[in-house]
Structure 1
Amino acid sequence: MADTLLDQLSTMTTVVADSGDLDAIRRFSPSDATTNPSLILQAAQQPSRRQRLAEIARQATDIDAALDAVAVEIGSEISALVPGYVSTEVSAQLSFDREATLNKARSLIERYAQHGVGPERILIKVAATWEGIQAARVLEREGIQTNLTLLFGMAQARACADAGVTLISPFVGRILDWHKANKPDADFSGDRDPGVQSVRGIYEYYKSHGFETIVMGASFRSAQQVIALAGCDRLTISPALLGELAEGNGILERKLSPQGAETNAPEPQGETDFRWALNEDAMATEKLAEGIRKFMADQRSLEKLLGELRNN
């Protein structure tokens, strides 16, 4: 029997589950798993978790502590199912606060340690704002590995490489969403997909300059977008698309391969240059702000759920 598309993809790219669903993770056996406030909310709403969530909510000193306890407990369960990294996100509310991000990241690592999960297994997810990237720079020096998320453009990617972050999650689907909304009659199929083009450009920039930061494409709308990035360091994929790839057949062509590094690394990007370049990129500016708002909305929904369980 011929290898499925997922089997073939796994030979050239590290496959990551974009899910907090333990059953889906067991089914597809990915190398890593990523979570975010939206995925934690989905996992927390499962009826089988209600009793445990109520216990956590009542034992915690406040709702903020309960949120962290839930995220780390689910992350710890996932860590027993995957051999590699588990990503856990810092609250989106801290996206513009460097010091608060640092404190929250350290606290999450301490919580994982209490569950017997070492820092080498965890990636702390931080929004790729200037403050988030600079917090990641400090955390990496402390031995806390980071995953910079909500990344939509080269300005963010350059700053992350300069900060020495472990991994970035450039988004694909949300970039396509923006371009479709602004140019509804344009053809974005195949190689015209601006989300795919963005990740390819970042990957090529990193490899050509010898940056060690891992590029993990994220936020896919279709299996075709995944296939178009075959060969990228990592791809984090939803259970629905993992299932589609697991049932798909045919020859999967490698699209991305590392290139030889140049001898001279580019000049570091300062804060003023970063902010100006991000400002000039309307899509990246709008999608970063929107992503932070959406993650925070889901966090508030989880806060409400935990508050109700705490008071019952």
Structure 2
Amino acid sequence: MNQLEQLKNYTKVVVDSGDINNIEKYKPHDATTNPSLILKVIKMPEYQYLLKDAINYAHKKGGNKTQKIINATDKIIVSIGIEILNKIPGFISSEVDSRLSFNTEESILKAHKIIEMYEQEYGIPRSKILIKLASTWECIKAAQFLEKDNIKCNLTLLFSFAQARACAESNVFLISPFVGRIYDWYKSKYPEIIYNSSNDPGVKSVKKIYEYYKKYSYNTIIMGASFRNVDQILELSGCDRLTISPELLGFLQCNTKKIFCKLKKPNKKYQHPKHRLSESEFRWLHNQDAMAVEKLSEGIRQFSLDQDILEKIVLKNF
């Protein structure tokens, strides 16, 4: 078996792409999208029909120009999600507008809108959808509320242990710790250090979260994300899920070297710690991690920029 086939024996493999061709090629269990991936897809000639459909949808919905643009971009996100769902057995992750990352109520409203579009426009049950939200305090609280309506969430842009702990304590369905972006920050700050699988700070971060979640029997799923190389992926073999770019899936598919399960659940488990992080404690602990503060802010800004570009493309084609 190639390494991709072997990895699937230990971990649910998720493809990090909006391109249907990649979904069909690598046959993942789930798929994730984000504003950057949506923007990349909608620029491709073969998906221009989705842009046209979204604009027609927005005109039918009516409203002022701003409302039409928002409706069109939401339609694009859901339409790409539908295309992917036709090719996978599991979840599709669809992301809430990053510009709402510090607004709990607006994030909840947008999540409900996306879910309703899947259900009412396409007849897809919410059980197949993961709503992606940035791992801010506001969005973690939004996810906690959405779970009460059976809306599962994927908390993304997760860099600090404080974020991971708050998500578990809020019964978030799934988290996406960003291995590669953590690695990037440390590589930039400390270029003299040679990183490998044993000291990679992104890998170590996910291992710490995994050990904590499993030790205290939290149900929140851990899905490692944002990988820079195959070694990072293989070092996290055994993680609940791993979302991997098509390029790295290709490398795994072309290699037959034996791999091993690196993450295993502890034999002894404990009850959840009674003390739950308050908002002030969360903000203080997260603030103590300079890498996490910088990368979370950077990620939100980048996704927001890509959302702006997508809206300009829609406006240009109105």
Q: TM-score, normalised by structure 2?
A: 0.95
Q: What pairs up with 1:31-180 in 2 under 5 angstroms?
A: 31-60=29-58, 61=62, 62-113=68-119, 114-180=121-187
Alpha-carbon distance in structure 2 between the residues aligned to 1:86 and 1:235: 14
Structure 1 counterpart SS, 2:317: helix
| Cα drift, residue 221 of structure 1 | 0.5
Change (3 A) 1:158 1:261: farther
The 2-side partners of 1:79 and 1:238 are apart by 17
Give yes or no for the alignment of 1:203 onto 2:201: no
User: C-alpha distance in 2, partners of 1:190/1:52?
Assistant: 41
Identity of aligned residues (%): 48
Q: Which amino acid aligns with 1:161?
A: A
Residues of 1 paired with 2:261 and 2:49: CA distance? 46
Q: Secondary structure at the match of 1:131?
A: helix
Gap change, CA 1:293 and 1:261, over 3 Å in 2: farther
User: Aligned pair count?
Assistant: 308
Kindly provide the CA deviation profile for residues 155-207 of structure 1, in whole angstroms up to 9, marking residues without a partner as x. Answer: 00000001101100000000000001111111211211000000010011000
Q: Which residue among 18, 21, 27 is the counterpart of 2:19?
A: 21
> Does structure 2 conserve the Cα–Cα contact (< 8 Å) formed by 1:207 and 1:261?
no
Structure 1: distance between partners of 2:34 and 2:124: 18
Kept in 2, the 8 Å contact 1:207–1:260? The answer is no
The Cα of 1:261 is off from its aligned counterpart by 5.1
Of 293, 297, 304, the match for 1:289? 297
Shift, 1:49, TM fit: 2.0
8 Å CA contact 1:16–1:34 kept in 2: the answer is yes
Q: TM-score, length-normalised on structure 1?
A: 0.97
Write out aligned runs for 1:189-268 (5 A): 189-260=196-267, 262-266=269-273, 267-268=275-276
Partner AA of 2:310 in structure 1: L
Instruction: Work out the CA distance in 2 between the residues paired with 1:217 and 1:126.
Output: 16
Residue in 1 aligned with 2:283? Answer: 275
Q: Is the 8 A contact 1:150 1:291 kept in 2?
A: yes
In structure 1, distance between residues paired with 2:206 and 2:103:
27
Q: Which AA in structure 2 matches 1:241?
A: L
Q: Unaligned 5+ residue runs, structure 1?
A: none
Contact 2:175–2:223 under 8 Å retained in 1: yes
CA contact (8 A) 1:20 1:74 kept: yes
Give the Cα–Cα distance (whole angstroms) in 2 for the partners of residues 115 and 273 of structure 1: 42
Worse overlay, 53-62 or 194-203: 53-62
Q: Which letter maps to 1:301?
A: I
Contact 1:210 1:261 in 2 (8 A): no
Q: RMSD of the alignment, in Å?
A: 0.9
Q: Distance in 1 between matches of 2:73 and 2:50?
A: 13
Distance 1:58 1:306 in 2: 11
Instruction: Tell me the amino acid that sits aligned with residue 28 of structure 1.
Output: Y
